[in-house]
Amino acid sequence: MKLAIMQPYFFPYIGYFQLIHAVDKFVVYDNIKYTKKGWINRNRILRNGEDYTFSLPIKAASDSLDICDRTLSTEFDRNKLVNQIQGAYRRAPFFSNAFPVIEQAIRFQDSNLYSYIFNSITKICDYLGIKTEFIVSSKMKIDHGLKAETKVLALCEEAGASVYINAIGGVDLYSRETFNARDIDLKFIKSKPLEYPQFGAEFLPWLSIIDVIMFNSAESIQAKILNEYELI
């Protein structure tokens, strides 16, 4: 059984969904520290020919809180974000198909940061036909005081994984020998270069999944783009 473990990200890039698609079960970390300078609550879209960063405003709280303990700011204007996405992509070839999915995810009313982002991830997976089973990390019966590689191994064993697939950025974080000693094969997913027309302008790579579904049909993403990676 192939397993991946990742933090939730708001409308992340295609590689995140390739990872979900590549495994049988996907553990979403809800009880891990929120990092405000990371990409948990922000990403990039194409706007007027340039990349534009959008974000979810987070209610001020202790930096020590986990993602599941953080909430969206009461000042979060869902209409404004919906209008920004609409304005940026209304001329995109698959806008009429993709925009309702994005709008529904943005208008989701839960204010918990984890729940809000997780809902958006599942909405995109439904749209792309990804059937991977999701598991919430805090619900798993392990010692949640474990850290780093030791915790990942515990999560793998609890889920019954024989293969653990991590994002390519984690190559230096994990040891194949350590995983092999626990009868788990360690792999890393590397997305292949992806390019598609973006209003005839110079291509901007690795934008939010929003960009991908606006310029590519759900069928072509499912049939080809989700499989454009290699495991190393």
Q: For residue range 109-122, list pLDDT tens digits in order.
A: 999 999 999 999 99
Amino acid (1-letter code) at residue 102 = I
Average pLDDT over residues 213-230: 98
pLDDT class of 63 with cuts at 50, 70, 90: confident
- Residue 6 DSSP one-character state: E
Query: For strand 229-231 and strand 185-191, is the pairing parallel, antiparallel, or unpaired?
Result: antiparallel
Rounded distance between C-alpha atoms, residue 85 and residue 89, angstroms: 6
pLDDT class of 102 with cuts at 50, 70, 90: very high
Rounded distance between C-alpha atoms, residue 81 and residue 106, angstroms: 8
**pLDDT score at 134:** 98
**pLDDT score at 91:** 97
The DSSP bridge partners found for residue 28 are: 6, 136
Tell me the three state secondary structure of residue 90.
coil
pLDDT tens across 184-209, in order?
999 999 999 999 999 988 999 999 99
Average pLDDT over residues 76-83: 98
- Total H helices, total E strands in the chain: 8, 8
Tell me the three state secondary structure of residue 54.
strand
Q: Which tokens belong to 62?
A: 């202790």
Judged against a pLDDT cut of 90, whether residue 64 lies above it is answered with no
**pLDDT score at 35:** 86
pLDDT tens across 6-51, in order?
999 999 999 999 999 999 999 999 999 998 888 999 999 999 999 9
**pLDDT score at 158:** 97
Residue pair 31/68 in contact by the 8 Å Cβ criterion: yes
Judged against a pLDDT cut of 90, whether residue 59 lies above it is answered with yes
Judged against a pLDDT cut of 90, whether residue 170 lies above it is answered with no
Residue pair 9/117 in contact by the 8 Å Cβ criterion: yes
Q: Where are the alpha helices (DSSP H) in the chain?
A: 14-22, 78-89, 95-106, 113-128, 148-159, 176-180, 209-215, 218-223
CA dihedral 170, 50, 58, 29 (to 10 degrees): -20
Judged against a pLDDT cut of 90, whether residue 97 lies above it is answered with yes
